[in-house]
Amino acid sequence: MFVQLDHLKTKDLQSNLDVIQAVFEVLLFDVTHQAESSNTLTIHQQILLNCESLALERTSDLNSLAIEELDSSLVNLNCLDKPNLFSGHNWFLSLLEAIIDPPYGTTLAQSHRVAFFKTFTQLCLLTEKDCEIYDWVGYPGSGRDNDSEWNDYFEPGREWWGNWCLTLYSPQLKKGCLLLASSTD
């Protein structure tokens, strides 16, 4: 199996996140040379192994990590314009809130949030019907706070703000995405 980074789309999406001062890193992948019978968890693991920020050894045993598959049906773009968007929490709303509420605030204007979220969720494959989403560290509020201890990258987030490490994969599109964040004040 070969996982190739989609540099151009990654650069554009990362630039958009940087402009609003979100603390997330994003990597987009085109998955090629995948056998139809491949275990898709292996693809998620390959996405992690191809992330320079995590600096994982190719021999790392990712099977020992406590991961959780997230419910993709919670991705709801119809609720993005509600004034009390973050009053009910699930992993999807927590992700959107983390993007616009990093430790030092964001420059994303309220009037631009809906358009930004729609573009972000589409580029990160969250809107794909066949999207598989794995949480590798326990998003803030998930009760899995100690599940991030497998990598030093997540040390700052354990102090206060939290950690994010999601891999997303669409078998139909043969595309993947990695969302990373770890920050504190």
Name the residue range of residue 40's domain. Answer: 2-183
Distance CA(157)–CA(137), nearest Å, equals 11
Q: How many independent structural domains does the chain possess?
A: 1
pTM, two decimals, is 0.89
Distance CA(110)–CA(184), nearest Å, equals 23
Distance CA(166)–CA(134), nearest Å, equals 5
Over residues 18-39, the mean pLDDT reads 82
96 near 85, Cβ under 8 Å? yes
Distance CA(154)–CA(124), nearest Å, equals 21
Q: What are 46-58's pLDDT values in tens digits?
A: 899 989 899 998 8
pLDDT at 76: 87
Q: Residue 65's Cα: distance from chain center in Å?
A: 17
Q: What are 32-80's pLDDT values in tens digits?
A: 866 555 688 988 998 999 898 999 988 888 988 999 999 999 998 888 8
Over residues 155-170, the mean pLDDT reads 90
Question: Tokens for 108?
Answer: 């994303």
CATH of residue 161: 3.40.1000.50
Q: What are 167-179's pLDDT values in tens digits?
A: 999 999 999 999 9
